């Protein structure tokens, strides 16, 4: 994994890497961070969407109430999404299987927290694209407007634990100067 | 505007043009089509998001109940999103200001309906990227889980008419062979 000093981060337009980020979500996943410099958690996400809502750039993420991350998100209303570099696959897999209740995943996988520019939630230095988001609005996966498809319920919600969907305004976005060459 | 015979459409991965589509949403807008070959409507959208939900590629769009498109969406559960070519700005502006109740916008702006491969809603031949979507799930912009920010309410909902947010599974996606050169 590259060390922090290997790379320089530059400001990018919020949707400049939407294609690469969508691809990374599918495989190997992206890293969702919430909390603050002293107390943060990181989890792997495979779902999310980038676009525009209410005239603002948004990153939509979905988190189940059972997740350690959920509490941080609810308390802070902020998160970062970090697109891993090629070579970080093992760290991403780890962050998707181990709970922050049981381990300090940053420490275990040598992930370096860098201060966000606009949010208290840190970004991950080793990741090559970093989105800083503030929750604008949220909703819940439920049947109130339209029933969740049966197939989806059976596969993803056999025990309930329905996702909350967070629409985060992308308030800052950075990428490593050499991001294009190192995206997964 | 190019004629239909100028271009050949090829199958693309659903998120291959996510960056360009996000940029087009911001300016000049994309074209949302719903209905079928005989009775369809087209409207301009500036908001939307592309990504992954429940392991499926999704295009999220937001439509107000007052829109002519709303009825079609509710009845068919299908839509297409079409990214205009450079040069289609006037047509896109027109489709964002005139209602389908008052005019046949396809006819007025010489927009050619092409049959969808997987949905009844047509795509627009002149547009260089075309997404075909089936509504997986929908929700409503409301205060039930989290209050819509006051600033957003004042600016976008002074008369209510709250958007329904549709999560459409992208069941097919095509682009013109020369799309990369002609995107807005």
Domains and their CATH numbers in chain B: 4-182 (2.30.110.10)
DSSP secondary-structure letter at A133?
Answer: E
Instruction: Please indicate whether, in this complex, the C-beta atoms of B47 and A52 are within 8 angstroms of each other.
Output: yes
Question: A158 in contact with B at a CB cutoff of 8 Å?
Answer: no
pLDDT digits (tens, 9 = 90+) for A104-127: 999 999 999 999 999 999 999 999
Region of B54 (left: φ > 0; alpha: ψ -120 to 50; beta: rest) is left
Nearest residue in chain A measured CA to CA from B22: A51
Map residue B40 onto helix, strand or coil: strand
Confidence at residue A1, expressed as pLDDT on a 0 to 100 scale = 45
User: Is any Cβ of chain A less than 8 angstroms from the Cβ of B162?
Assistant: no
Contact call for A54 and B155, based on CB within 8 A: yes
Backbone angles phi and psi of B44, in degrees to 5:
-90, 135
Contact (CB<8Å) A135/B155: no
- B96–A contact, CB cutoff 8 A: no
d(CA A37, CA A113): 7
What residues of B are in contact with residue A140 (Cβ under 8 Å)?
144-145
ipTM: 0.95
pLDDT average, residue stretch A169-180: 96
- In this structure, are residues B57 and A46 in contact, taking their beta carbons and an 8 Å threshold? no
Q: Does position A150 have pLDDT exceeding 80, yes or no?
A: yes
Pairing type for strands B78-83 and B30-35 reads antiparallel
Taking residues A159-177, what's their average pLDDT? 97
For residue A37, how far is the Cα from the chain centroid?
Answer: 16
Identify which of B50, B135, B138 has the shortest CB distance to residue A49: B50
| pLDDT tens, chain B, 184 aa long | 445 555 799 999 999 999 999 999 999 999 999 999 999 999 999 999 999 999 999 999 999 999 999 999 999 999 999 999 999 999 999 999 999 999 999 999 999 999 999 999 999 999 999 999 999 999 999 999 999 999 999 999 999 999 999 999 999 999 999 999 999 9
- φ, ψ of residue B169 to 5 degrees: the values are -70, 130
Give the span between the Cα atoms of B169 and B83, in whole angstroms: 17
| pLDDT of A2 higher than 90 | no
Parallel, antiparallel or unpaired: strands B9-11 and A40-45? unpaired
Does A1 touch chain B if contact means CB atoms closer than 8 Å? no
Nearest to A50 among B18, B152, B155 (CB): B18
């Amino acid at each position: 994994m590259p060390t922090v000093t290997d790379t320089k981060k530059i400001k990018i337009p919020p949707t400049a890497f939407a294609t690469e980020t969508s691809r990374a979500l599918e495989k190997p996943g992206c890293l969702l961070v919430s909390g603050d410099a002293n107390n943060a958690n990181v989890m792997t996400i495979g779902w999310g969407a980038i676009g525009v809502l209410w005239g603002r750039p948004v990153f939509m993420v979905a988190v189940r109430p059972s997740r350690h991350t959920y509490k941080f998100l609810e308390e802070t209303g902020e998160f970062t999404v970090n697109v891993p570099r090629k070579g970080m696959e093992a760290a991403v897999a780890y962050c998707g299987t181990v709970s922050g209740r049981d381990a300090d995943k940053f420490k275990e996988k040598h992930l370096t927290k860098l201060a966000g520019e606009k949010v208290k939630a840190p970004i991950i230095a080793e990741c090559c694209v970093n989105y800083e988001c503030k929750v604008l609005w949220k909703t819940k996966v439920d049947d109130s407007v339209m029933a969740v498809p049966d197939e989806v319920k059976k596969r993803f919600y056999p025990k309930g634990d329905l996702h909350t969907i967070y629409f985060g305004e992308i308030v800052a976005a950075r990428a490593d100067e050499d991001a294009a060459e190192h995206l997964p």
